[in-house]
Structure 1
Amino acid sequence: MVKQYSRSAAGKEKLSPTELRPFAVLMDTVAYLLRVVSEYDSREAWPDVYEFVSDRLRAVRQDMVVENLDAEKSILLLESMIPFYAEAEYRCELTRCPTYDRKLHATQLEECFCRWRQFVDFSERKNERIMASYLLHNADKRWVVVQLIAWKEHFCKNNYTFIQDVILSLRMNNFVRFFRLISQQDDSLLRLTTTRYFATMRLLALKACAVAYRCRDIPLPDAFLEEHLHMKHSALLCCLRALGCEVTDGKAYTFGVTLSNDVDLCASEWIFADFIP
């Protein structure tokens, strides 16, 4: 039973018990919705698929809350949804999906993680991938290192080191190390969770290089930037133009240029990475 999300409103009757779906049906619904995503994978179908699936997953969470499901059942549902939201965020931003609302999507992903976090400490079963995704999603928060240490026993050595290194590279604005770590990560969920930081890290990198190479007739090291920021040449030049750099014959110069502070970091050029299919 796939049910449309229905917002609560004043004067509207509460959901009838007959309309609520039991846990087994909710799990089947989520599995069906995820199959829809994989089966209708074309760029043309994506806007309709995203709108349909995100709305129906929201309805699943609504039933989950109204029924007051226990921790184990709630965690299973939420851990099934979170990868969809991580992938959809990157895909929608990259394709400028017309049915995508950035604020609403961020709210829904945050809701999934927050509800999951409320329950996870009460569950004996731990999902290492989702725990890692949660920490990477919050890698820019001050408390995340403390939480990583608290959960250390639940991570294999490689994942623990990876999360720690990503957090440190973000804190230190070390763009070379950051993109090297992400590009070498095999888990698609962990790669996708970190895409929210790509634009900011690239902006910091380009500004730093623009200042360092502010000399007459000295172009920016485009090959270096393309390699370490994992950007195509055309995308790199587009971002440099947005910053206000002078581009001549495929080379960017910053001598005598005042860098712009009004840059659209949501543009696909800032977000795309060659190591994410």
Structure 2
Amino acid sequence: MNKIYYKNFKKVELENNYVTGTCMEMCPEAELKMRERERLLHPFEMLVGTERDILPKADKTRTVKSFSRSAAGKLTPDPRSLRPPDILVKTVSYLLDDVISRTGVQWRVIYDFVMDRLRSVRQDMIIQNISRQHQINILQPIVKFLAFASYKLCEESIHDFDPHINDSHLQECLKRLLCMYDYCDEMEKSTDGDEHEYSDESRSYFEALYVVFNLGNTTAITRAVNLPNKWKNVLVKRTVEMSLARSNNNFVRLCRLIELLPPLLAALAYLHLPSLRKDCFKIMSNAYSSKNLFFPVAVLQKILLYNNEDEIVSDCNYYGIKVKENGVVFLKTDFDSKKPVVSLKRRSVVLDEKFSCLDISAVILSCQ
């Protein structure tokens, strides 16, 4: 699959029919004036002091080009509406530093704004077919933002945050990023000397993130196993071990390894716990099936990384499993395997405490 992507990129590059952007601001002048006129400015973009005016003014230093689908039949975009690579990098840094650091605003509101503006950045990036290194520099923080959002907003209502849409964008960005890595590998192999030697300290982190996001997926495991040795560090090897543990239903080992991950990767791994717990309950309902045996709730809480015993009782009741005297009574006749995975996702109290001590902007924009 990766070679196909590489060949497609190479073929497109040879055609060389791409427009080079000339807009040196985060938002083109024409769009800025139109959005002022049509009252389409986001509160984050309004000039301080004009927010309550009939027509609020745009703050040029904070207004960012919004996402819009390409008009049908329009073959050549206007260069004045496209931002060159350096401006795209600047825009990403602004969104993921200044904007997501805002206080006094619900995070889902911040997410909606940043998500839309990052889609516009990706659109400009693809239309211009900018250099691979610029694409890597842009995609890496976007991937981190989407990964953090998937955890941060997992408890929100579907009306406020759609995890499926977010995951779709995350997977798309991850795959494109991996294709850029593969392209650089191919270029390094095809040249003699060190002129095109590629080095990126953060690559291993994103290779590991891909494995965690696709936990138990054989394609992700195969990719990680076949990576050049210089990218297979301890973190990549650990996530491969996790993915194999998921495939083999080794729940205890998997959960122990999750606790060893960096916070952002651990947060992404936590989103797999609902399905993992269901599979674990199913197996235990067969392996420990007995009316006279009680499996301690406290032990199960520790093994499956629940925040508290009440969450275990809630999940057990959902799947038809009885809980008596602080013990779970596993019976294969009680477990309702037809029930879908618990839709309610819960954030980890331990992880939330870790994130509260971190500068999220720094985590997202850092090289690791």
TM-score, reference length from structure 2: 0.68
- 1:73 is aligned to 2:134: yes
Counterparts of 1:60-209 in structure 2 under 5 Å?
60-96=121-157, 98-123=159-184, 124-126=198-200, 127-155=203-231, 157-185=233-261, 187-209=262-284
What secondary structure does 1:119 align onto? helix
Which residue in the other structure is 2:287 paired with?
212
Q: Aligned pair in 2 of structure 1 residues 204, 239: CA closer, same or farther (>3 Å)?
A: same
Query: Structure 1 residue 160: deviation in Å?
Result: 3.6
- 1:138-197 C-alpha deviation (Å, 9 max, x unpaired): 332223333223225233642243123112211111110001001122x12321332342
1:230 to 287, 295, 305: 305
- 1:265 is aligned to 2:366: no
Structure 2: 5+ residue stretches without partners = 1-25, 27-63, 185-197, 353-368
Tell which deviates more after alignment, 117-126 or 49-58: 117-126
What secondary structure does 1:54 align onto? helix
Count of residue correspondences: 273
- Which residue identity is paired with 1:54? M
**Distance in 2, Cα, partners of 1:214 & 1:104:** 39
Percent identity over the alignment is: 26
Q: Aligned pair in 2 of structure 1 residues 240, 152: CA closer, same or farther (>3 Å)?
A: farther
Q: Is the 8 A contact 1:51 1:99 kept in 2?
A: no
Q: Is the 8 A contact 2:143 2:173 kept in 1?
A: yes
More helix by share: 1
Q: Aligned pair in 2 of structure 1 residues 156, 25: CA closer, same or farther (>3 Å)?
A: same
Q: Aligned pair in 2 of structure 1 residues 122, 11: CA closer, same or farther (>3 Å)?
A: closer
- Which residue identity is paired with 1:158? V
Which residue in the other structure is 1:8 paired with?
70
**Distance in 2, Cα, partners of 1:9 & 1:104:** 23
Give structure 1 regions of 4+ aligned residues with deviation exceeding 6 angstroms. none
Larger Rg belongs to? 2
Which residue in the other structure is 2:94 paired with?
32
Q: Aligned pair in 2 of structure 1 residues 172, 182: CA closer, same or farther (>3 Å)?
A: same
**Distance in 2, Cα, partners of 1:149 & 1:216:** 44
**Distance in 2, Cα, partners of 1:264 & 1:137:** 18
Structure 1: 5+ residue stretches without partners = none
Tell which deviates more after alignment, 207-216 or 239-248: 207-216
Q: Is the 8 A contact 2:205 2:236 kept in 1?
A: no
**Distance in 1, Cα, partners of 2:315 & 2:244:** 25
- Which residue identity is paired with 1:103? H
Q: Aligned pair in 2 of structure 1 residues 172, 65: CA closer, same or farther (>3 Å)?
A: same
- Which residue identity is paired with 1:198? L
What secondary structure does 2:246 align onto? helix
Tell which deviates more after alignment, 143-152 or 230-239: 143-152
Which residue in the other structure is 2:79 paired with?
17
Q: Is the 8 A contact 1:36 1:49 kept in 2?
A: no
**Distance in 1, Cα, partners of 2:348 & 2:142:** 24
- 1:81-116 C-alpha deviation (Å, 9 max, x unpaired): 111111111122133364312222122111101211
TM-score, reference length from structure 1: 0.88
- Which residue identity is paired with 1:253? V
**Distance in 2, Cα, partners of 1:19 & 1:99:** 30
Which residue in the other structure is 2:109 paired with?
48
